[in-house]
Amino acid sequence: MARIGTDIELAKELLEKGEVVAIPTETVYGLAGNALNEDAVLTIFEVKKRPAFDPLIMHVASLEQLAAYVETIPEPALRLADAFWPGPLTILLPRKKIIPDLVTSGLPTVAVRIPNHPLTLRLLESLAFPLAAPSANPFGYISPTTAQHVADQLGSQIPYILDGGACGIGLESTIVGFEDNEPVIYRLGGMSVEQIEKVVGKATVRSHSSSNPKAPGMLSSHYAPRKPLVLLPTHYASDGSRLSLEGLRDVGALAFKQPLPGILPENQRILSPTGNMAEAAKNLFAYLRELDGLNIEMIYAEILPDDGLGRAINDRLNRAAAR
């Protein structure tokens, strides 16, 4: 089983040997390997059972480090980086040939970000290479937000988990690229559309999935529990007349602010009793995981108001229900 600890030097040593380790970020835990080492990147895909057509995000410590790996950083991208890095924002940039095709799935752009976590930033600063790091979970399953989540899923396949505590945001990064110099949001995430648009103007949201995604995290079925998940309308909990759930003892519920009527209290998780979107985002994956572990047959989930971080949370719920 993987060791869990806070030893940055050990993590560095393993990564320099071409092994993969789990690392904390403010969004979710990542499964990291040397982005310039094709064998290490291949190990990431093998451990996650991730399809090779789904590109990875590359993590760096600074814009200065990034300059060695991308051809250019357009002015709007620089504005975003200045406003939000380190933070839950990934930017698609034209890559240099030093980046292996396996990282980008052969695309001319590479997805890059500077994560906002002190342990991982110190690790990145100590390395002579960037880290490719998708979420540290089996492909398609709920993303991990604690070191123990990683251990439960991948602990037998990796040597070390760098423990940075519970993730502060709990949703993957927002991914932004540029087409004809216009901003395009390819994945909704921990940075809201409104925040992006304040910096670069109106952005097109194109987070729908495809079998040949232009960015990480665009596939339709993703972030899903093992148990079937059924979506309910926004404000369902306060309007139970839509559908009676009375007597459903073998189901669980993921509600926004208040319990769903008719479902056992012990089988319910409330994302944020005060309606705080940041709290809801932070709890989303952990609560889905808890519900998936209960003795139930299916999960009902309430769609949130579709604004701010609610859009990203709803995106994850829709993908979780896509099966």
Burial class (CB in 10 A: 0-12, 13-18, 19+), 139: middle
Binding-site residues for L-threonine, in ranges, read: 27, 113, 133, 173
Residue positions in the annotated binding site? Answer: 27, 50, 59, 109, 113, 133, 135, 143, 173, 187, 223
Distance CA(256)–CA(249), nearest Å, equals 20
Angle between helices 309-320 and 277-292 (to 10 degrees): 20
As a whole number, mean pLDDT of residues 112-135 equals: 98
Across residues 293-316, what is the average pLDDT?
95
3-class state of residue 269 by DSSP: strand
Q: Alpha-carbon distance 141 to 252, whole Å? A: 18
Binding residues for ATP: 50, 59, 109, 135, 143, 187, 223
Side chain identity at residue 202, one-letter code:
K
Q: What was the pLDDT predicted at 241?
A: 47
Residue 210 pLDDT: 57
pLDDT at residue 247 in the model: 54
User: What is the share, in percent, of the chain residues with pLDDT greater than 90?
Assistant: 84
Q: Are 305 and 313 in contact (CB under 8 A)?
A: no
Show the domains of the chain with their CATH numbers. 3-205 (3.90.870.10), 229-320 (3.40.50.11030)
How far apart are the C-alpha atoms of 62 and 1, rounded to whole Å? 33
Query: At how many degrees (to 10) do helices 118-126 and 8-16 cross?
Result: 40
Average pLDDT of 283-302? 96
Instruction: Give the pLDDT score at 234.
Output: 83
pLDDT at 238: 67
The residue-averaged pLDDT of 119-141 equals 97
pLDDT for 188-229, tens place per residue? 999 999 999 999 999 999 866 555 677 787 776 778 899 999
Q: What pLDDT is stored for residue 166 in this prediction?
A: 97
Task: Give the model confidence (pLDDT) of 14-68 as tens digits.
Answer: 999 999 999 999 999 999 999 999 999 999 999 999 988 889 999 999 999 999 9
pLDDT by residue (tens digit) across 219-274?
Answer: 767 788 999 999 998 877 666 545 555 556 699 999 999 999 889 999 999 999 99
